[in-house]
Amino acid sequence: MPRPLDIACLQLRPMPDMDAALAEALPLAEKAVAGGAQMLFLPEYCGGLKADGAAVAPPSAPEGDHPFLQQMQAFAAQHHVWTHLGSVAVDGPEGRIINRGFMLAPDGAIAGRYDKIHLFDIQLSDDEVYRESDRVDPGNCAVIHDTALARVGHTICYDLRFAHLFRSLAQGGAEILACPAAFTAKTGAAHWHVLNRARAIETTRFAVSAAMTGPIPGGGETYGHSLIVDPWGEVLADGGEGPGVVAARIDLDRIAETEGRIPSLMNDADFARV
């Protein structure tokens, strides 16, 4: 029997402060709910994102007094909608920050948290260098959010390149693998679609990746193309380059159907290391 679920990604632009981020996110969230979405997915650093040279410099606040988080909790409660808050910058120890995502329940309560494990420290060229770890402390624990609608595995952006994390989440019972992101335009054009499709195909799960789009204040550019991918690897929705709502109706029974055709999660075997 089908298990339909109406979901929507909010494709947002990077904003320099939380007020601007809320002004970007809330109208799109209203539009998504009006369109029938039962679960919303927001991107990485949806509470604001700036760059300071190679380091990220998003606006941050303590979790217990975080304006963006509190407003989104109020929205979730007002509209009785599950809300996957991709991530916001939360104050950490010694002046550092944590790239932390949340699952918000329909009463606005925090139903789960995930701190990004793999930080984006790369050098694409002499002029394009990223050092997320300069200001961000990493997490160390994989997270599955148990909701009344689906079990959602939470990853963030650069985590997308670590297939074992996605496989572990799927083997742990996740039905949707969410990877909110602020992927760079260069790496996104090369790898975003193929990595999202690969993670869905490898795990026979839905991949749902809400993305930032457009220039980052202070330097850099995000790729956009929020994606909803089914367990067979078919792209059900692609947000393109502009801000907006990216919606699809998914059928969670497709997971068992696809597993029945290619039971790769159950076919794992130990092998000799060379």
Separation of alpha carbons 45 and 18, rounded Å = 10
Structure tokens at 204: 């026979």
- Out of 24, 46, 50, 157, the active site residue is 157
186 given a catalytic annotation: no
Closest CA to 246 of 22, 29, 2: 29
179 given a catalytic annotation: no
What single-letter amino acid sits at 264? S
Q: How many CB atoms lie within 10 A of CB 273?
A: 4
257 given a catalytic annotation: no
Rg of the chain's alpha carbons, rounded to an integer?
Answer: 18
The CA-atom distances, in angstroms, between 175 and each of 95, 96, 254 are 36, 33, 10
- Out of 44, 132, 175, 202, the active site residue is 44
- Out of 116, 132, 179, 202, the active site residue is 116
On whether the CB atoms of residues 47 and 89 are closer than 8 A, the answer is yes
Known catalytic residues are 44, 116, 157
